[in-house]
Amino acid sequence: MKLDGKIPAGTIAEKWSNYKASQNLVNPANKRKFDVIVVGTGLGGASAAASLAELGFKVKIFCYQDTPRRAHSIAAQGGINAAKNYQNDGDSIYRLFYDTVKGGDYRSREANVYRLAEVSNQIIDQCVAQGVPFARDYGGYLANRSFGGALVSRTFYARGQTGQQLLLGAYGALNRQIAAGNVTLYTRTEMMDLVMVDGHARGIVTRSLLDGKLDTHFGHAVVLATGGYGNVYFLSTNAMGSNISAAWRAHQKGALFANPAFVQIHPTCIPVHGTAQSKLTLMSESLRNDGRIWVPKNKEDAEKIRAGKLKPVDIPEENRDYYLERRYPAFGNLVPRDVASRAAKERCDAGYGVGTGKAVYLDFQDAIKRLGKDVIEARYGNLFQMYEKIVDHNPYETPMMIYPAIHYTMGGLWVDYELQTTIPGLFAIGEVNFSDHGANRLGASALMQGLADGYFVLPFTIQNYLADQLSLKRMDPAEHPEFKTALEQTRSRIDKLFKIKGTRSVDSIHKELGHIMWDHVGMARTKENLEAGIEKIAKLRDEFWQNVHIPGRDDTINLELEKANRLADFLELGELMARDALHREESCGGHFREEYKTEEGEALRNDKDFMYVAAWGYKGAGKAPELNKEPLSFEYIEVKTRNYK
Amino acid sequence: MDLTLKVWRQADRKSKGNFETYQIKDISPDSSFLEMLDELNEQLIREGIEPVAFDHDCREGICGMCSLFINGRAHGPGHETTTCQLHMRKFKDGDTIVIEPWRAGAFPVIKDLVVDRGAFDKILQAGGFISVNTGNAQDANAIPIKKFQSDEAMDAAACIGCGACVATCKNSSAMLFVASKVSHLALLPQGKVEAVRRAKAMVAKMDELGFGSCTNTGACEVECPKGITLTHIARLNREFLSANLKP
């Protein structure tokens, strides 16, 4: 398939203006004739639904939680980037664009990233107008802080709850449109399938999580805002319900899935405590501003610590290995996320880990000595408290233990400049698409992308599609054959799951998948390991379809059925991720292949052969997917090797 | 740890529920409360018993979905803690733990420990927002806002909408929830324009949906996992009073 990114003409700074000036729009009186379906109520979904409804479109929005406000955008801590240059430190739209492309290791689409940087300032304006209580200084103006991968201070924040406050802003806008009758909200409702009519996306099949009732809904267009797929690893910082099913169903119907191997592993998470663990908690990147990361220099000390015979405070300074400062003197503890994660894994694999062996120390003693406990408490008090609640250690007295964990997925449904997938009428916004972060996302850029797509990009670009659909009359899903067929297919899929009546619980299989993914498609990948992983995933998928056990009935809340539905899709996605990782014979961003590294062990890109987006077409479960390539070119940025030494 | 659990089981909205007693063994004190329930459910599935339905999602104390009444307290023992942040080390080996859903007329039980908190959405739809369309905003720094005012608005805005305040109130009043939103927006110049209308509409909706009256016992403040204080209820009362004095 030839992939057309539909990049508008003009210089990079003119492209978005040129696009808006020449695109088709729907006239105000006609907007109410269009139904738009939005799936997901996080930053992308809520902002898109509210903005579309304000314009006059009729919107239906769906979430699996009991209210839109619980979507996982709510959990983002650190902040949101924008090129406001309020600090007068030399920031600009170009610089934000440059940092994002470089941080993504030159695997994102230039025009999309520039537009993201361009609308970033409007996002901050909009959020303030909605009443988002961003941090301010004593003069009453907005405050900023710094994040990794940038030389300026451009991150806006609301304490450690920026995602929550931004989502509540978008949720408020959504509530206003619900009250006005322009948006219909469906909670505790999960999308089960995409309905296609004559090659276009025209609706969805849903299942009520309360009583199992299946339903169909028509839309002139369908927008997926369903988030990332980190839960394929079972343990991640994602919410328990976060899943890929909506996007995977679209993929099965023809939407290409791009760069699935690009996964972000966050270096500072609270380590795994045992087999009952259900999820991982992030400790904000900002801690690396003052915390120093180390492990014991001698293996014997590490062994004694693991056996409980030594405490970290017993290790004298000269017997500590501050390995990030040793390996990366220029950036030290503030190297980007992918670099810090790999370095922690390297030390633990070599036998220097602490705790269970899979942890390193993040130590604040020097900072407390230098600045005083009060300053550290003012900066990180809520995080220290959160750590103490979970681990029951006081980080003021003993170093924190941290370990990398799955956090964000850069890959997702392939979209063009208009955020339209390869299925006409199907759009993907926020984390579920692939477009803006390349092979690695910078901190505080996920919130920016979700809101950019929802408030300022999709509401325009979707009209270029809808303007051509004016003659399409609303369909009655109860009568239309394609809708009925899709509903029947969903019904038989659920029946099939119930009929298996095996012996294994859904979670036991999910945990096994998580181990395979972590061991084979994790931080350090090799050809042999990936090939072995593909085989194991295929076997586990067979095991699932032969031996999973789903208790209870379909006509009531059934958490096991919900989980099984989602796991079935993760079992296919996991294999695609391994295949993508296997085919990409280079190391870039979060994708690290052991065979492709420099003599010092750093990631080695291969721009000659792999400077493209890998967009995979579905050929059936267990069948080799079809590879399509969208070549990437960088006209406005010189492509370099990332160097943090 | 070995524990005895007394768990509320209820088939659906209309059925009458009752407590069931389960024994569970070898729970790690480092497990979270919800991970303990995960293990209970694995055990029930093995025994051919339908697992216990309970709400949860982010498991890091911010989404507000988890909602258990544990040993007579909303979100269990512990100060400013959601159920998902509660760890088993807060209990002792051999303990009996009683687990119930939120109990309030406006939050009907749907199944087992799951309740319907849709009433909270309806209250916010009545006016818990600033009426600004996308694209209408002026520059974010055009209106300076006093730092303490902005900080106080943030204190109120920290509400996660879990409903612990309602569940713990003897009158099942939603005043702390409503007050947090009214106060957050009324403290900011952007929200001041609609403050009067907002307070009136949200209080009217709260009454209509069957939440009880506030008698200032302060139980809500004690159990709020985000430490939202009664000060905000005082501000709501002021806004509401002035709303009724103005035409």
Question: Which of B:30-59 have CB within 8 Å of A?
Answer: 30-32, 34-36, 38-39, 41-42, 45-46, 48-51, 53, 55-59
Through-space distance between the first and last CA atoms of chain A, rounded to whole angstroms: 41
User: How many angstroms separate the Cα of A312 from the Cα of each of A297, A332, A410?
Assistant: 12, 21, 36
Q: What is the pLDDT of residues A136-162, one digit of tens each?
A: 999 999 999 887 777 889 999 998 899
Q: With contact defined as beta carbons under 8 Å apart, do A38 and A225 qualify?
A: yes
The answer, for B234 touching chain A at a CB cutoff of 8 Å, is: no
Q: With contact defined as beta carbons under 8 Å apart, do A592 and A525 qualify?
A: yes
The answer, for A411 touching chain B at a CB cutoff of 8 Å, is: no
Question: Which pLDDT belongs to residue A85?
Answer: 97
pLDDT band at residue A262 under the 50/70/90 scheme: very high
Question: Which pLDDT belongs to residue A41?
Answer: 98
The answer, for A624 touching chain B at a CB cutoff of 8 Å, is: no
SS3 for A123-175 is HHHHHHHCCCCCCECCCCCECCECCCCCCCCCEECCCCCHHHHHHHHHHHHHH
The rounded distance, in Å, linking the Cα atoms of A94 and A233 is: 36
The rounded distance, in Å, linking the Cα atoms of B58 and B66 is: 9
Residues of B in contact with A184 (CB under 8 A): none
Q: Is the confidence at residue A188, as pLDDT, over 80?
A: yes
Residues of B in contact with A274 (CB under 8 A): 28, 30-31
Q: Is the confidence at residue B71, as pLDDT, over 90?
A: yes
Report the chain A residue with the minimal C-alpha distance to residue B187.
A131
Q: Is the confidence at residue B59, as pLDDT, over 80?
A: yes
Tell me which of B26, B31, B46, B62 to substitute to probe the interface with A (most A C-beta atoms closer than 10 Å): B62
The answer, for A510 touching chain B at a CB cutoff of 8 Å, is: no
Q: Is the confidence at residue A336, as pLDDT, over 90?
A: no
* A630 phi/psi in degrees, rounded to 5: -110, 105
Contact B38 A551 (CB under 8 A): no
Question: Which pLDDT belongs to residue B197?
Answer: 93
Q: Could you tell me which residues come within 8 angstroms of residue A221 by beta carbon, excluding any fewer than 6 positions away?
A: A34, A36, A37, A201, A425, A426, A427, A462, A465, A466, A469
Q: What is the pLDDT of residues B148-182, one digit of tens each?
A: 999 999 999 999 999 999 999 999 999 999 999 99
Question: Which pLDDT belongs to residue A586?
Answer: 98
For chain B, how many residues are written? 247
- Comparing B198 with A334, which gets the higher pLDDT? B198
Contact B111 A556 (CB under 8 A): yes
pLDDT band at residue A500 under the 50/70/90 scheme: very high
The answer, for B230 touching chain A at a CB cutoff of 8 Å, is: no
Q: Name which of A569, A565, A539, A567 is nearest A554 in CA terms.
A: A565
- Pick from A172, A390, A392: which is nearest to B129 by CB? A172
Question: Which pLDDT belongs to residue A277?
Answer: 92
The rounded distance, in Å, linking the Cα atoms of B217 and B200 is: 23
Fold match, A266-406 / A481-630: no
Question: Which pLDDT belongs to residue A92?
Answer: 98
The answer, for B150 touching chain A at a CB cutoff of 8 Å, is: yes
Range scoring the smallest mean pLDDT among A27-36, A203-212, A562-571, B237-246: B237-246
Which amino acid is located at A296 in the chain?
Answer: P
Question: Which pLDDT belongs to residue A379?
Answer: 78
Question: Which pLDDT belongs to residue B247?
Answer: 60
Question: Which of A:312-371 have CB within 8 Å of B?
Answer: none
Residue ranges of the domains in chain A? 266-406, 481-630
Question: Which of A:174-203 have CB within 8 Å of B?
Answer: 175-176, 178-179, 185, 187
Q: What's the CATH code, domain A266-406?
A: 3.90.700.10
Contact B128 A386 (CB under 8 A): no
Q: What is the pLDDT of residues B199-236, one digit of tens each?
A: 999 999 999 999 999 999 999 999 999 999 999 999 99
Question: Which pLDDT belongs to residue A202?
Answer: 98
User: How many angstroms separate the Cα of A354 from the Cα of each of A267, A294, A310, A358, A359?
Assistant: 15, 10, 11, 6, 5
Contact B121 A277 (CB under 8 A): no
Residues of A in contact with B110 (CB under 8 A): 210, 557
For chain A, how many residues are written? 645
Question: Which pLDDT belongs to residue A574?
Answer: 98
Average pLDDT value for chain B: 96
Domains annotated for chain B, with CATH where assigned, are: 3-110 (3.10.20.30), 117-245 (1.10.1060.10)
Average pLDDT, integer, range A3-22:
97
In this structure, what token pair is assigned to residue A597?
A: 């590294």
Contact A556 B32 (CB under 8 A): no
Contact A278 B35 (CB under 8 A): yes
The rounded distance, in Å, linking the Cα atoms of B180 and B161 is: 10
DSSP string, A223-274: EE-----GGGGSSSSS-TT---HHHHHHHHTT--EE-TT-EEEEEEEPPP--
Long-range contacts of B179-183 (CB under 8 A, 24+ apart): B179/B232, B179/B233, B179/B235, B179/B236, B180/B156, B180/B228, B180/B232, B181/B124, B181/B128, B181/B156, B182/B128, B182/B232, B182/B235, B182/B236, B182/B239, B183/B152, B183/B153, B183/B156, B183/B231, B183/B232, B183/B235, B183/B236
The rounded distance, in Å, linking the Cα atoms of A223 and A207 is: 18
In this structure, what token pair is assigned to residue A16?
A: 């978005």
Residue located via tokens 């069931």: B20
Q: What is the pLDDT of residues A349-401, one digit of tens each?
A: 999 999 999 999 999 999 999 999 998 887 788 789 889 989 999 999 999 99
Average pLDDT value for chain A: 95
The answer, for B139 touching chain A at a CB cutoff of 8 Å, is: yes
Question: Which pLDDT belongs to residue A146?
Answer: 81
- Pick from A138, A176, A390: which is nearest to B87 by CB? A390
Q: What's the CATH code, domain A481-630?
A: 1.20.58.100
Q: What is the pLDDT of residues B82-126, one digit of tens each?
A: 999 999 999 999 999 999 999 999 999 999 999 999 999 999 999
DSSP string, A414-471: ---TTSB-SSTTEEE-GGGB-SSSTTSPPTT-HHHHHHIIIIIIHHHHHHHHHGGGTT
CB atoms within 10 A of CB A21: 10
Report the chain A residue with the minimal C-alpha distance to residue B12.
A556
Question: Which pLDDT belongs to residue A125?
Answer: 98
Question: Which of A:561-590 have CB within 8 Å of B?
Answer: none
- Pick from B12, B133, B190: which is nearest to A131 by CB? B190
